Amino acid sequence: MLGSVGFLTTFPNPLQDNPAYSVVKQYFVNPDDTVTQKIVVHKTSARGTHFRRAGPRQRVYFQSDEVNAAIVTCGGLCPGLNTVVRELVCGLYDMYGVTSVVGIEGGYKGFYSKNTIPLTPKSVNDIHKRGGTILGTSRGGHDTAKIVDCLQDRGINQVYIIGGDGTQKGASVIYEEVRRRGLKCSVVGVPKTIDNDIAVIDKSFGFDTAVEEAQRAINAAHVEAESAENGIGVVKLMGRNSGFIAMYATLASRDVDCCLIPESPFYLEGKGGLLEFIERRLKDNGHMVIVVAEGAGQDLIAKSMNFVDTQDASGNKLLLDVGLWLSQKIKDHFKKKPNFPITLKYIDPTYMIRAVKSNASDNVYCTLLAHSALHGAMAGYTGFTVAPVNGRHAYIPFYRITEKQNKVVITDRMWARVLCSTNQPCFLSHEDVENMKHDDDHEHHLHNTQLLEGESSPLKNSPKCNGLAAAV
């Protein structure tokens, strides 16, 4: 079961002798501490879901000289990847005396197609100052049997997998195969997605940096629009299925007149449509800025182009360029109005945003994530991802974060704040809003209220794993 690893063969945590932590009043986490998934509950609600609190334990499962750790980065780029890698390496070395840490190059396929590279505090010392990932990354390439064969052949007993929801699903499958083979190997995930669409967790690393960097593009669009007659600036931001970057960047900027996200349908033509709103705003203000998430309006584009769905190597639906499409639709609309000339500038900063180094906030966050991850692995937990839940770092079973994606709730207060900030219409009928409220209420009543510490761990009964605790 998830809980105290006292029933395992354990050893004193070397942190107790680390002078850096000698002044901390209560450094070690109580094994029974939990973090609740929901803070605000109705008085008649059940206790709800709780996760094991992250942090160093007084007893550890792995001795420092027996650890062979591996780190891999998968999926698309995101600010903070190098920071997580750096802090995992330095944390293992400096806090636990682990000296055998390797990097897997090129994502999941690197386990069986490339050599590993040794990682030391010296080799990763300044990588947090760079964007991207020094390990390289890729989409797809997941072959569970080959990956676990690699772990087994190389004697790797801690593997840290950094990636988004697809990567975490892959990590879950790896954990299941490791468990099936009875290997003494801790499989740990660090959730990464610039879109902030991983469920349960407060936010993913790189998101703050992305919102901050998006301000540059929005500011440029505003300057261009304000400087021209009937100027329109269109900015496309990342957000495949979730419009968090577009929403927060809009609120932070205050120069945006319309924000379009995947969760909130819109239409172009007719009364109350987007084109009518653009025309009205230009008459009122003389210029406007539109922010659109990359996943917005995909149904409209597909219908207009008779497009057939295709997928990338990660299984994600390939998106059509809503920014170019929307820009052209706006131009076509105003061509029919020769007495209403416009000047439109389209800005797509996607790859600039995700390739930058992380800002100060994300650097601190990445450090906490990495430390929480390695504390859990050293204590003997496996099959979990680590992230803050309601402000406290917790160990979350893989399946909890892969059940569904985190999306903007357009019947919630935050989206209402965006609408108030931009003074745009919601483009939804009263019936649409009521249906969405009903769906939200239904999901709330179906919420799982099981206490995680009561769930069973198949790993503890494995004859070969020597009681490695599973975070399930």
- Residues labelled catalytic: 195
Task: Please indicate if the annotation marks 140 as binding a ligand.
Answer: yes
As separate numbers, helices (DSSP H) first and strands (DSSP E) second, the chain gives 14, 17
Scanning the structure block, which residue is given the tokens 């500038």? 345
Which structure tokens are listed for 270?
Answer: 């007719």
How big is the chain, counted in residues? 472
Question: Which of 105, 208, 119 shows the shortest CA–CA distance to 150?
Answer: 105
Task: Please indicate if the annotation marks 270 as binding a ligand.
Answer: no
Q: How far apart are CA 352 and CA 387, in angstroms?
A: 26
Which structure tokens are listed for 412?
Answer: 């919630």
Task: Please indicate if the annotation marks 288 as binding a ligand.
Answer: no
Task: Please indicate if the annotation marks 312 as binding a ligand.
Answer: no
Task: Please indicate if the annotation marks 348 as binding a ligand.
Answer: no
Dmax (CA) for the chain in angstroms is 81
Task: Please indicate if the annotation marks 194 as binding a ligand.
Answer: yes
Task: Please indicate if the annotation marks 231 as binding a ligand.
Answer: no
Task: Please indicate if the annotation marks 240 as binding a ligand.
Answer: yes
Task: Please indicate if the annotation marks 164 as binding a ligand.
Answer: yes
Phi, psi angle pair for 356, to nearest 5°: -80, 165
Task: Please indicate if the annotation marks 167 as binding a ligand.
Answer: yes
Task: Please indicate if the annotation marks 193 as binding a ligand.
Answer: yes
Check if the beta carbon of residue 71 is closer than 8 Å to that of residue 186. no
Task: Please indicate if the annotation marks 238 as binding a ligand.
Answer: yes
Check if the beta carbon of residue 286 is closer than 8 Å to that of residue 278. no
Question: Which of 231, 266, 224 shows the shortest CA–CA distance to 427?
Answer: 266
Which structure tokens are listed for 294?
Answer: 């990359």
Pairing type for strands 158-163 and 186-191 reads: parallel
DSSP-based three-state secondary structure for 407: coil
User: What sign for the dihedral angle of Cα 378, 381, 387, 389?
Assistant: negative
Task: Please indicate if the annotation marks 166 as binding a ligand.
Answer: yes
Task: Please indicate if the annotation marks 195 as binding a ligand.
Answer: yes
Residue set of the binding site for substrate:
193-195, 238-240, 294, 351-354
Instruction: Detail the residues annotated as belonging to a binding site for Mg(2+).
Output: 165
Which parts are annotated binding residues?
Answer: 76, 139-140, 164-167, 193-195, 238-240, 294, 351-354
**Which residues sit in the known binding site for ATP?**
76, 139-140, 164-167
